[in-house]
A and B are shown apart, each in its own frame.
Chain A
Amino acid sequence: MADKKKKDEDLGVNFSPDLLELLAKFKEIELEDFEMEVKDLELWLQSGALPRQVMSQLKVAPALKGKPTELLQAPFMPPVETYPGKIVEVKLGATKGEGGTRGRSITIGGETSPPFYTFERPVVHPPVVTLDVFDMELPLSKAVKMHVKEVIGDPAAWAKLAVEKFGADMVTIHLISIDPLLKDATPKDAVKTVEEVLQAVDVPLVIGGCGDPVKDTAVFAEIAETFAGERFLISSITQDMDVERCAKFVKKNGHVALSFTPMDLNLARELNRRLYDFLGNEDIVMDLTTAALGYGLDYAFTNMERARLGGLMGDVELAHPMSSGTTNAWAAREAWLKMSPEWEPRELRGPLWEVTTALTLLLAGVDLFMMMHPAAVKTLKEVTAQLVSGKKADACKFLDWVSLKTE
């Protein structure tokens, strides 16, 4: 600083120390609204003592200690981008005209921007919700059970409730009774259950297995054939299954495969590549694994965000719509456990746990949410509708939060 001052004096430039200090502080700002008094400046600049940016400050430095008296205008340009890739569109469910029996089909995917970057372009197909229906009794958290206790054990009634009362876009029939370790129900039994649900509601269905790779393959095969043309989402095809066989019966009968991998994008790509030998891109939805809030949601979020950005950047192996088993949120004990009074009631904490998990992943790009609690479903649907509504904020309305009298 002493050197500089000396130099300034030599050059006959008389800036007050204040001003120099001020300039040093703002060397990053760009200010161009002032006319230049250049004579001294040129002289100074020849010395090379200051970088160009600081020079531009000098233009601004008004006489009065550099404090502006008027608002300095700086237009904000929305940082809009385009992307080489596009998320593939996948149609779920088929109407009579399309070879099935559903009242409507639902298309997911098709995005050409990151999730809800509506300043860039509108959302193509808003995310949808499929509600969980189980084909037998199973332990449920209290917060969930209170809403479905009348229909547990009756999948058709449960499906009806999910659609008519809870607003589900789709229904997932989880065939857990086929589990060899549970009831070991036969593929024929499973077909019967699916038939009942199919009769009860006219929304597209997701067919959920029990997690046993051999049993699931057998059951999925039977269901795929019996209900050819319904365009079910078969949940799910995993690496430890006979992928070729599964892909073939999915394709032959016009269904959609849910390609499920454990939280690893390379495995996801690999499984998708194996499916491409038999299925079109438009026949694959992927599930990258959903971990609960507090139990790995960070991994799930980043994995999905990377997959979506990757897909948009042209990685076709990741450019599939994403499904999330958001019900997994209930695996977090904070979602269902009775805790000390300051954290209660769990009837609110639990569904909020599911909503928080869902909304986090909504912002990572999930297109299909498999969910459980009606309040969580309602909120997700409301938020999604608000985000795609195209309506503007009523900014004035929210100005007085500062002086808002609460209580």
Chain B
Amino acid sequence: MSEKKKGKAGVKELSPIDVYKALPKINCKECGEENCMAFATKIVNREVRLDQCAPLLKKENEKAYNQLKDMLKPPVKEVVVGEGEKAVKLGGKLVMYRHEFTYTNPTAIAIDVTDEMSEEELLSRIKKTEGFSYEYIGYTLKLDMVAVRCTSGEPEKFKAAVKKVVENTKLPLILCTSNVNVAEAGLMAAPKAKPLLYAANMDNWRDMAELALMYHCPLVVSAPNDLSMLVSLVKTLLAYGVEDLVLDPGTFVGDGLADTLNNFTMLRRAACKGGEELAGFPLMGVPMVAWVDKGEAADEVVKWREAYSAAMLIVRYADVLVMHGADGWSLLPNTVLRQNIYTDPRKPVAVEPGLKEFGTPNENSPVLFTTNFALTYYTVASDIENSKTSAYLIVVETEGSAVDSGVAGRKLTAEKVADAIKETGIENKVKHRKIIIPGKASRISGEIEELSGWKVQVGPRDSSEIPKYIIDKWQP
């Protein structure tokens, strides 16, 4: 199979010309673009969808449509778990490396419950999972799924637990058992929920495949540390008619960490770079295996191991993770990391210019400015926030330059600062006319005073000193 290098192209290999050739080429502008070539470019950049080309949907263009669809198919299949608005999409990756193109579908994080937990505990874990919420630079970080594990080995118990879970949450489920009877009992309790079924292995694949087909649910394929078995199972299950697969090459902590990362990396490379379709499915990581290896360790230590294993898997291609530790301190770094890794790498390193308010500023509050380089902005913003003082911060449009390079490259000029003072309407919000400028912009302090009429106070070179500066030096 390794010789099979054709097939779905990574984003890099797909050119707008290829797409253009298959489009109707009539420049009808119905899609809102100037012409078909512009549309083709946006298609390649995944900024528009194929369905937005109305003529392409006509019967006579069916062949071209299908051809394009095939060309645009991601090397990692997108698999949907769950129903309704909480359904999660797994995989759908277009590229291996983040700089090549935006990663689609952030790693879904599932928290586990078992069929032997007391009702109270089960409900409390579900509530905690659903209630997890953290506001971070305009995003709300959430958890995504509930994994129900069968620890009892009894179908009826599992069924009851799954029933309890679906009655209490709309979050998509992962049903975890290798016992087919147990799996079926679980599915009967959630027949329409489209849960992710874990897992088909070398022994039970036929029965699991039947269940997946019967309940129209996606199926995890499990072959711990045996990629040939894994892709063989994939090949078999595809032939069986099960299309929505998720791959579990095994997660191992401790000495197995190297194998774990290697397996994930090889599968993703084979899919994205080698055109290997049998590897082209979402990958499941199970950081909670840290609990299997608990030994004498304290719970906090295991949560710590689980959390850092999860972090490495988020970076190395996991599309879904099953975790047991449900503490805020251990989950927060990973939800933030996931958000970071899944941002658009093409996004200019800039934030929206304008006026930002911290705390509850009034007419006597200090006014500062910084640039719209995202890192500069977030650093300054967090420093002001941490000071717990109320302040206004003018974010000057510097085309994403930092303060020092902005001054040097004339992206940050006195004109721009003076304009920003005008445009933000800060003059109506404060009585004073004093602005604290970054220490690294001291060179243009005189010019700013001249152009804006505001008195300039040269602030610290590093924003970490802003809080102290405001306390010591600010007087309206």
A joins B in a complex: yes
- Give A residues with C-beta under 8 Å from B: 22, 25-26, 28-31, 60, 66-79, 116-119, 181, 211, 240, 262-263, 291, 293-299, 301-302, 305-306, 309, 331-334, 337, 342-346, 348-349, 352-353, 355-356, 359-360, 363-364, 375, 379, 383, 386-407
**Is B239 touching A353 in the complex (CB atoms < 8 A)?**
no
Tell me the complex Cα distance, A72–B334, Å.
38
Write out the residue numbers on chain B whose beta carbons fall within 8 Å of the beta carbon of A359. Answer: 308, 311-312, 315
Question: Interface readout for B125-144 with A: 1 if CB under 8 Å, 0 if not?
Answer: 00000000010110000000
**Is A77 touching B2 in the complex (CB atoms < 8 A)?**
yes
**Is A74 touching B228 in the complex (CB atoms < 8 A)?**
yes
**Is B375 touching A299 in the complex (CB atoms < 8 A)?**
yes
**Is B265 touching A29 in the complex (CB atoms < 8 A)?**
no
The answer to the question of B26 belonging to the interface, with a C-beta cut-off of 8 Å to chain A, is no
The answer to the question of B425 belonging to the interface, with a C-beta cut-off of 8 Å to chain A, is no
Write out the residue numbers on chain B whose beta carbons fall within 8 Å of the beta carbon of A387. Answer: 257-258, 261
**Is B286 touching A401 in the complex (CB atoms < 8 A)?**
yes
Out of A70, A299, A379, A402, name the residue touching B150 (CB < 8 Å): A402
Q: Is the interface of B mostly helix, strand, loop or mixed?
A: helix
Tell me the complex Cα distance, A60–B235, Å.
12
**Is B225 touching A395 in the complex (CB atoms < 8 A)?**
yes
Q: Sample 17 A-B pairs with CB under 8 A, ordered by A number.
A: A25-B243, A71-B205, A74-B231, A74-B278, A298-B341, A334-B332, A348-B300, A356-B334, A356-B337, A364-B315, A393-B224, A393-B225, A393-B252, A393-B258, A393-B260, A402-B176, A406-B291
The answer to the question of B149 belonging to the interface, with a C-beta cut-off of 8 Å to chain A, is yes
Q: Which residue of A lies closest to B460 (CB)?
A: A181
Q: Which residue of A lies closest to B272 (CB)?
A: A79
Write out the residue numbers on chain B whose beta carbons fall within 8 Å of the beta carbon of A331. Answer: 379, 382, 464
Write out the residue numbers on chain A whose beta carbons fall within 8 Å of the beta carbon of B251. Answer: 398
**Is B99 touching A73 in the complex (CB atoms < 8 A)?**
no
Identify the 9 closest CB pairs spanning chains A and B, nearest first.
A393-B256, A77-B2, A76-B227, A393-B252, A349-B329, A393-B259, A391-B255, A395-B224, A298-B340
**Is A71 touching B236 in the complex (CB atoms < 8 A)?**
yes
Out of A68, A296, A395, A398, name the residue touching B375 (CB < 8 Å): A296
Given contacts A74-B232, A379-B304, contact A66 B241 (CB under 8 A): yes
Q: How far is the CB of A337 from chain B (nearest CB, A)?
A: 7
Given contacts A298-B343, A401-B286, contact A406 B349 (CB under 8 A): no
Write out the residue numbers on chain B whose beta carbons fall within 8 Å of the beta carbon of A240. Answer: 404
Tell me the complex Cα distance, A407–B303, Å.
13
Tell me the complex Cα distance, A156–B385, Å.
35
Write out the residue numbers on chain A whose beta carbons fall within 8 Å of the beta carbon of B269. Answer: 79
The answer to the question of B402 belonging to the interface, with a C-beta cut-off of 8 Å to chain A, is yes
Q: Which residue of A lies closest to B254 (CB)?
A: A386
Write out the residue numbers on chain A whose beta carbons fall within 8 Å of the beta carbon of B464. Answer: 331
Which residues B249-286 have CB closer than 8 A to chain A?
A: 250-262, 265-266, 269-270, 273-274, 276-279, 286
**Is A76 touching B230 in the complex (CB atoms < 8 A)?**
yes
**Is A333 touching B386 in the complex (CB atoms < 8 A)?**
yes
**Is B259 touching A405 in the complex (CB atoms < 8 A)?**
no
**Is B259 touching A293 in the complex (CB atoms < 8 A)?**
no
The answer to the question of B333 belonging to the interface, with a C-beta cut-off of 8 Å to chain A, is yes
Q: Which residue of B lies closest to A27 (CB)?
A: B70
**Is A363 touching B304 in the complex (CB atoms < 8 A)?**
no
Q: Which residue of A lies closest to B201 (CB)?
A: A399
**Is B345 touching A398 in the complex (CB atoms < 8 A)?**
no
Q: Which residue of B lies closest to A402 (CB)?
A: B176
Q: Is the interface of A mostly helix, strand, loop or mixed?
A: loop
Tell me the complex Cα distance, A240–B407, Å.
13
The answer to the question of B50 belonging to the interface, with a C-beta cut-off of 8 Å to chain A, is no
Q: Which residue of B lies closest to A345 (CB)?
A: B329
The answer to the question of B324 belonging to the interface, with a C-beta cut-off of 8 Å to chain A, is yes
Write out the residue numbers on chain B whose beta carbons fall within 8 Å of the beta carbon of A60. Answer: 239
The answer to the question of B58 belonging to the interface, with a C-beta cut-off of 8 Å to chain A, is no
Tell me the complex Cα distance, A50–B333, Å.
51
Out of A70, A295, A356, A402, name the residue touching B178 (CB < 8 Å): A402
Write out the residue numbers on chain A whose beta carbons fall within 8 Å of the beta carbon of B329. Answer: 343-346, 348-349, 352
Given contacts A298-B341, A334-B336, A360-B311, contact A79 B266 (CB under 8 A): yes
**Is B404 touching A401 in the complex (CB atoms < 8 A)?**
no
The answer to the question of B476 belonging to the interface, with a C-beta cut-off of 8 Å to chain A, is no
The answer to the question of B471 belonging to the interface, with a C-beta cut-off of 8 Å to chain A, is no
Q: Which residue of B lies closest to A329 (CB)?
A: B333
Write out the residue numbers on chain B whose beta carbons fall within 8 Å of the beta carbon of A398. Answer: 224, 250-253, 256, 289, 292-293
Write out the residue numbers on chain A whose beta carbons fall within 8 Å of the beta carbon of B35. Answer: none
Tell me the complex Cα distance, A28–B281, Å.
13
Q: Which residue of A lies closest to B6 (CB)?
A: A53
Given contacts A262-B402, A399-B224, contact A116 B176 (CB under 8 A): no
Tell me the complex Cα distance, A263–B401, Å.
11
Which residues B117-164 have CB closer than 8 A to chain A?
A: 117, 121, 134, 136-137, 149-151, 153
Out of B198, B235, B286, B293, name the residue touching A72 (CB < 8 Å): B235
Write out the residue numbers on chain A whose beta carbons fall within 8 Å of the beta carbon of B153. Answer: 403
Tell me the complex Cα distance, A297–B339, Å.
10
**Is A72 touching B266 in the complex (CB atoms < 8 A)?**
no
Residue from A70, A77, A262, A387 whose CB has the most chain B CB atoms within 10 Å: A77
Given contacts A77-B1, A363-B312, contact A406 B114 (CB under 8 A): yes
Write out the residue numbers on chain B whose beta carbons fall within 8 Å of the beta carbon of A297. Answer: 337, 340
**Is B151 touching A403 in the complex (CB atoms < 8 A)?**
yes
**Is A302 touching B99 in the complex (CB atoms < 8 A)?**
yes
The answer to the question of B446 belonging to the interface, with a C-beta cut-off of 8 Å to chain A, is no
Write out the residue numbers on chain A whose beta carbons fall within 8 Å of the beta carbon of B136. Answer: 294
Out of B233, B255, B461, name the residue touching A389 (CB < 8 Å): B255
**Is B149 touching A402 in the complex (CB atoms < 8 A)?**
yes
**Is B224 touching A76 in the complex (CB atoms < 8 A)?**
no
Tell me the complex Cα distance, A31–B257, Å.
33
Out of B97, B304, B324, B385, name the residue touching A305 (CB < 8 Å): B97
The answer to the question of B405 belonging to the interface, with a C-beta cut-off of 8 Å to chain A, is yes
The answer to the question of B389 belonging to the interface, with a C-beta cut-off of 8 Å to chain A, is no
Given contacts A67-B241, A77-B2, contact A294 B375 (CB under 8 A): no
Q: How far is the CB of B111 from chain A (nearest CB, A)?
A: 12
Contacts A344-B328, A386-B258, A398-B256 given; 7 further ones with Cβ under 8 A? A71-B202, A72-B236, A75-B232, A293-B336, A301-B315, A392-B256, A399-B224
**Is A294 touching B308 in the complex (CB atoms < 8 A)?**
no
Tell me the complex Cα distance, A352–B98, Å.
23
Q: How far is the CB of B212 from chain A (nearest CB, A)?
A: 12
Tell me the complex Cα distance, A386–B243, Å.
36
**Is A117 touching B375 in the complex (CB atoms < 8 A)?**
no
Write out the residue numbers on chain B whose beta carbons fall within 8 Å of the beta carbon of A383. Answer: 257, 308, 312
Out of B116, B198, B253, B293, name the residue touching A405 (CB < 8 Å): B116
Q: How far is the CB of A355 from chain B (nearest CB, A)?
A: 5
Write out the residue numbers on chain A whose beta carbons fall within 8 Å of the beta carbon of B458. Answer: none
The answer to the question of B80 belonging to the interface, with a C-beta cut-off of 8 Å to chain A, is no
Tell me the complex Cα distance, A7–B149, Å.
50
The answer to the question of B288 belonging to the interface, with a C-beta cut-off of 8 Å to chain A, is yes
Out of A25, A301, A389, A395, name the residue touching B258 (CB < 8 Å): A389
Out of A72, A75, A263, A392, name the residue touching B239 (CB < 8 Å): A72
Tell me the complex Cα distance, A263–B256, Å.
34
Write out the residue numbers on chain B whose beta carbons fall within 8 Å of the beta carbon of A352. Answer: 304, 307-308, 329-330, 333
Q: How far is the CB of A135 from chain B (nearest CB, A)?
A: 18
**Is A26 touching B336 in the complex (CB atoms < 8 A)?**
no
The answer to the question of B374 belonging to the interface, with a C-beta cut-off of 8 Å to chain A, is yes
**Is A29 touching B238 in the complex (CB atoms < 8 A)?**
yes
Residue from A28, A31, A388, A389 whose CB has the most chain B CB atoms within 10 Å: A28
**Is A301 touching B341 in the complex (CB atoms < 8 A)?**
yes
Tell me the complex Cα distance, A332–B312, Å.
20
Write out the residue numbers on chain B whose beta carbons fall within 8 Å of the beta carbon of A31. Answer: 235, 239
The answer to the question of B234 belonging to the interface, with a C-beta cut-off of 8 Å to chain A, is yes
Q: How far is the CB of A172 from chain B (nearest CB, A)?
A: 18
